[in-house]
Amino acid sequence: MTLFRTAALLATLSLAPWSSSDDAPMRGFTPASARAEREWERKFVALPDPDSLREHMRYLSARPHHLGSPRDSANAAWIRDRLRGWGLAAEIETFRVLFPTPRERVVELVGPKRFVARLQEPALKADPTSGQQAEQLPTYNAYSPDGDVTAPLVFVNYGIPEDYDRLERLGVSVKGAIVIAKYGRSWRGIKPKVAAEHGAVGCLLYSDPDDDGYHAGDTYPDGPFRPRDGVQRGSVMDMPLFAGDPLTPGVGATADAKRLPRSEAPTIAKIPVQPLSYADAEPLLAAIGGRPAPADWMGGLPITYHVGPGPARVHLRLRFDWRLVPAYDVVARIPGAERPDEWVVRGNHHDAWVNGAEDPISGAIAVLEEARAYGALLKQGWRPRRTIVLALWDGEEPMLLGSTEWAETHAEELGRKAVAYLNTDGNGRGRLGASGAPSLARLLSEVARDVPDPETGLSVWKRSHLGEVATAGGADRRREARERSDLAVSPLGSGSDYTAFYHHLGIPSLDLGFGGEDDGGIYHSIYDSFHWFTTFSDTAFVYGQALARTVGLTTMRLASAEVLPYEFSRLSERVATNLKDVQDLHRTVRDSIEEQNRQIEESTFVAMNDPRRPLVTPAREEVPPFLNFAPLQNGATRLKSATSRFETAYAAAFTGDGHALDTPGMDRLNALLLRAERALAPPEGLPHRPWYRQLISAPGWYTGYVAKTMPGVREAIDAKRWPEAEAQAEALGRALEQEAGVLDEAAALLESAKANGR
C-alpha cells in the first residue's frame, strides 16, 4: 500500500509523461499529421477515470451473468444504453448457440470407502455476492457429454501427453478407468481429450493447493488464493479443432443457420468431465492405491499421491440441459471520416462464469472507458480516418461464442475491411503483456512509451522492457532483450476472443493486459467478485485506467494513421527464430530416438531398472528421415529482403514534413499492406483443422492456450508425420513468398512516387 501511494504520488508530480515525447516518431503519420493526432491523444488520455471504472465494475459484476442468464441480457442492454448515452451508435446483435447447463451431477467414491463429493462452493460472509446461489451456475465443465460411469480411478498428474508416456513406463493403463487430473499446464479441454484417446471412460479435474491454493499463499477471504471449496468452472470443448458454436462450424449461428445434429458435433468432449475443489478431491486421491506417484507428481495435499488404478472406484453421473440460448453481442461503430471501409475492431467479452469481476469485467470496463472518451472527443470535433468498431462479446466463457459467430457472420466483410483486432480480457496489476501479430509490435511500443505505469512512474514501455531483460534466460538473450526497442509480442495461442479474427480470418491482432502482480485462485469461481477484486487486485483501478489509455491510443493511431502502421521486421525476425526452432526440434527428435534405440540395444533399460519398482522398457522406434526445409528457408529469406526494401522505401518516402504519395497512391499502399498480412492465413488452413488458417501460430493441438509457432510444420514433426511436415514447410514457404511479393509491390510504389519527386 505504501509503495503504491508513493509511486502514484511520483506519477502525479512528474510532468504528464505523454507530453515528453512530442517529437517521437509515430508509425504511419507524417510529422504534421502526428502533431494533430497528439492534440487529440492528449485530450483522450485525460478521460479514463478510476472512479468510473469502479462504478462500471460494481454494476456489471453485481449478479451472476453467464451466457443465457437474465442478468447477461440485462448487462448487454445496459452496456448498449451506456454507449448510446455517450453518443455512439450501438446495437445488439443476437446469435443462437448451443449452451449446456447441468441438470444432474454426481461424483461419489463407491469403494473401498464411501464418500459423496459436495460439488458446491459455500458462500463467504466477507464476500456479499458469493451468497447469490439461486443465480449461480453450478460447478461444471461445459460441453462434457452426458454420462453415467463407474470405474477404478487413476491419477494422471496434469493429464497432458507426457504424463501418459510416464504412465506407460510405469505399466499403468487408463483403459476403462476414470482419470483424475490436476488443473494447469495445458488448456483444460486437452485433459479429457487425451484421457479419451488413451481409453479412459471419465475425467475429473481438480485444483491442487500446490498450484493456486494454500501452498501458493493465503486463501480467500484472508488472501487471494483458492479456498478449499473453490472450483474452477470452464469449457472442455475441443477448441484446437475450431472455436465457436459446436453446431455451426465456420458459419454464423444466426437464427436460420444450418445446424449439425448434436451427435455429430465434433468439438463436444468424448467422455464425461467434472471439476472438483481440493476438498472434494482429497478423499478420492487418498483412496487410490498402487504405486506411489513419481516424486514430481506429488501435489500440495497432506497425503502420499498414488497412481492406481483403484482400489478407489468412482461413480460419475452427469446430465445436462442441451439448449440453444441467445448470445448478445453489443457492437458500436464510429464511422471513419476518410477511409470508412477500413475497420479497427476492439473487443472484450462481457459474459462471466459467475460474477466475473476480474474475468472479464476488469477488461470490459476499459472498453467502456475508451468508448466514453471517444464520445467526448467526437463532441469536440474528433473524426478518425478509419472506422472504429467497439464490441462487447457474449458467450466467451463457453467457447468464444459471441466473437466467433460475429466474425464468421461478417467474414467476407471483415476479410476486406478489418485492419486490426485489439483484444483484452481480465486485467490485473504489473507489467503490460502483449501477444499477437509481430507487425503491430512497433505501433504498440510507440504507444506504450506514452503511457505512464501507475506504480513506478516509469512508462509502460520501460517497465515491460526492463521486465523482459530481467526475465530473459542467459546472457545472450539478456543482451538481445536490452537492445530491442520494440516490446516482445509473443505468439498467439488461444483462450480469448481474438481467435476467430487472428487464426480464422488472418487479421493482425493484439491481446493486451497488465499482470504479474495479481496472483490468485478465484479464476472461474463464485469468488471472482467485486469484493475480491477491490481487496486484492487493481484496488485503485489505476491499471484499468492504464489499459484504457494503452488500448485506446493504439486504436486511435490505427484509425487515424495515413499509412497503416504495420512494421514487418519483427515478423521477419520471428519467422527466422521459429524456423530455427522447428529445425532444432526435428534434430532433437531424431537424436533422442537414435539414442533411445541405442540404449535399448545396449540393455541400458535393464541396467537402470529397479526390479522392485520395475519400469516398462520403451519400444524401438523408426529413426525419422532428414527433411527438406528449403522452401521454408527460401520464403524466410525472401521475406527478410522484402521487409528491408520496404523499410528503406518507407523511410525515404516519409521524410521531412510530408510524403511522396498522391491520394490514389496512398489508397493503393494501404490496400497492399492490408493484403500483406492476409497472406499468412491462406484459405486451405492447417492440416486436420482447416478452420485455423493462420500459419504463423495456432493453439497447440495438445496444449490449447499455449501457442505453437509454425504449427503446420511443428505438429507434423510432433506426430511423426514426415511427408506432412515437408508439405507444410512448403505451404508456409509459399505464404511467406506471397507476403514478400506484396511488400515488394508496396516498396516499388513508394520508390516510384519518390522518384517522381512528389
Per the CB < 8 A criterion, the answer to whether 287 and 113 are in contact is yes
CA distance 497 to 494: 8
Residue 659 Cβ, how far from Zn ion at the closest point, in Å? 41
The residue (of 234 and 309) whose beta carbon lies closer to Zn ion is 234
Residue 162 Cβ, how far from Zn ion at the closest point, in Å? 28
Q: Pick the piece of the chain touching Zn ion (CB under 5 A) from 83-91, 261-269, 352-360, 523-531.
A: 352-360
The residue (of 49 and 519) whose beta carbon lies closer to Zn ion is 519
The residue (of 75 and 738) whose beta carbon lies closer to Zn ion is 75
Residue 500 Cβ, how far from Zn ion at the closest point, in Å? 15
Q: Is 425 in the site for Zn ion (CB under 5 A)?
A: yes
Per the CB < 8 A criterion, the answer to whether 333 and 111 are in contact is no
Q: Pick the piece of the chain touching Zn ion (CB under 5 A) from 129-137, 202-210, 353-361, 727-735.
A: 353-361
Residue 357 Cβ, how far from Zn ion at the closest point, in Å? 12
Whole-angstrom CA distances from 383 to 22, 288, 380, 497, 658 are 21, 66, 9, 27, 21
Q: Pick the piece of the chain touching Zn ion (CB under 5 A) from 419-427, 524-532, 559-567, 739-747.
A: 419-427
Residue 359 Cβ, how far from Zn ion at the closest point, in Å? 4
Q: Pick the piece of the chain touching Zn ion (CB under 5 A) from 202-210, 227-235, 423-431, 682-690.
A: 423-431
**Residue 99 burial by Cβ neighbours in a 10 Å radius (0-12, 13-18, 19+):** buried
The residue (of 232 and 445) whose beta carbon lies closer to Zn ion is 232
Q: Is 394 in the site for Zn ion (CB under 5 A)?
A: no
Q: Pick the piece of the chain touching Zn ion (CB under 5 A) from 97-105, 257-265, 418-426, 658-666.
A: 418-426
Q: Pick the piece of the chain touching Zn ion (CB under 5 A) from 198-206, 359-367, 458-466, 733-741.
A: 359-367
Site string (672-691) toward Zn ion, x via CB under 5 A: --------------------
Q: Is 495 in the site for Zn ion (CB under 5 A)?
A: no
The residue (of 238 and 425) whose beta carbon lies closer to Zn ion is 425
Residue 362 Cβ, how far from Zn ion at the closest point, in Å? 10
The residue (of 424 and 439) whose beta carbon lies closer to Zn ion is 424
Q: Is 37 in the site for Zn ion (CB under 5 A)?
A: no
The distance of Cα 346 from the centroid of its chain, to the nearest Å, equals 15
The string of DSSP letters for 70-114 reads: HHHHHHHHHHHHHHHHTT-EEEEEEEEEEEEEEEEEEEEEEESS-
**Residue 539 burial by Cβ neighbours in a 10 Å radius (0-12, 13-18, 19+):** middle
Is residue 371 helix, strand or coil? helix
The residue (of 359 and 562) whose beta carbon lies closer to Zn ion is 359
CA distance 62 to 348: 18
Is residue 327 helix, strand or coil? strand
The single-letter code of the amino acid at 126 is A
The residue (of 360 and 513) whose beta carbon lies closer to Zn ion is 360
Q: Is 360 in the site for Zn ion (CB under 5 A)?
A: yes
Cell of 133: 446461489
Q: Pick the piece of the chain touching Zn ion (CB under 5 A) from 421-429, 433-441, 480-488, 523-531.
A: 421-429
The residue (of 121 and 425) whose beta carbon lies closer to Zn ion is 425
Bridge-partner residues for 9, per DSSP? none
Residue 531 Cβ, how far from Zn ion at the closest point, in Å? 19
Q: What are phi and psi of 423, to 5 degrees?
A: -120, 145
Cell of 610: 529397479
CA distance 532 to 384: 38
Long-range contacts (CB closer than 8 Å, 24 or more residues apart) made by 727-732: 727/687, 728/687, 729/582, 729/627, 729/628, 729/629, 729/631, 729/632, 730/631, 730/632, 731/682, 731/684, 731/695, 732/632, 732/635, 732/695
Choice from 208, 245, 359, 730 touching Zn ion (CB under 5 A)? 359
The residue (of 425 and 726) whose beta carbon lies closer to Zn ion is 425
> Which DSSP category does 657 fall into?
T
Residue 360 Cβ, how far from Zn ion at the closest point, in Å? 4
Q: Pick the piece of the chain touching Zn ion (CB under 5 A) from 5-13, 425-433, 471-479, 498-506.
A: 425-433
The residue (of 129 and 348) whose beta carbon lies closer to Zn ion is 348
Compute how many other C-beta atoms are within 10 angstroms of the C-beta atom of residue 524.
25
Q: What are phi and psi of 156, to 5 degrees?
A: -115, 25
The single-letter code of the amino acid at 499 is T
CA distance 611 to 425: 52
Residue 349 Cβ, how far from Zn ion at the closest point, in Å? 6
The residue (of 360 and 375) whose beta carbon lies closer to Zn ion is 360
Nearest residue to 676 (alpha-carbon basis) of 750, 737, 731:
737
The residue (of 144 and 427) whose beta carbon lies closer to Zn ion is 427
Residue 393 Cβ, how far from Zn ion at the closest point, in Å? 10
Q: Pick the piece of the chain touching Zn ion (CB under 5 A) from 116-124, 181-189, 422-430, 717-725.
A: 422-430
Nearest residue to 239 (alpha-carbon basis) of 398, 410, 98, 405:
398
Residue 48 Cβ, how far from Zn ion at the closest point, in Å? 20
Residue 463 Cβ, how far from Zn ion at the closest point, in Å? 24
Q: Pick the piece of the chain touching Zn ion (CB under 5 A) from 88-96, 360-368, 454-462, 580-588.
A: 360-368
The residue (of 528 and 744) whose beta carbon lies closer to Zn ion is 528
Query: Do β-strands 418-424 and 430-436 pair in parallel, antiparallel, or remain unpaired?
Result: unpaired
The residue (of 235 and 569) whose beta carbon lies closer to Zn ion is 235
Per the CB < 8 A criterion, the answer to whether 129 and 334 are in contact is no
Residue 363 Cβ, how far from Zn ion at the closest point, in Å? 7
Residue 190 Cβ, how far from Zn ion at the closest point, in Å? 18
The residue (of 66 and 693) whose beta carbon lies closer to Zn ion is 66
Per the CB < 8 A criterion, the answer to whether 677 and 507 are in contact is yes
Residue 95 Cβ, how far from Zn ion at the closest point, in Å? 18
Q: Using the CB atoms, write b or e for 613-635: b if 16+ within 10 Å.
A: eeeeeeeeeeebeebebebbbbb
The residue (of 230 and 513) whose beta carbon lies closer to Zn ion is 513
Q: Pick the piece of the chain touching Zn ion (CB under 5 A) from 201-209, 277-285, 316-324, 417-425.
A: 417-425
CA distance 111 to 102: 26
Q: Pick the piece of the chain touching Zn ion (CB under 5 A) from 248-256, 387-395, 424-432, 686-694.
A: 424-432
Residues whose CB falls within 8 Å of the CB of residue 191, separated by 6 or more in sequence, listed in order: 158, 159, 160, 179, 181, 203, 205, 236, 273
Residue 183 Cβ, how far from Zn ion at the closest point, in Å? 16
Residue 322 Cβ, how far from Zn ion at the closest point, in Å? 23
The count of chain residues that interact with Zn ion, using the rule CB under 5 A, is 3
What is the phi-psi region of residue 497: left when phi exceeds 0, alpha when psi lies from -120 to 50, beta otherwise? alpha
Q: Do you find a cis peptide bond into 102, omega within 30 degrees of 0?
A: no
Question: Residue numbers of the site for Zn ion (CB under 5 A)?
Answer: 359-360, 425
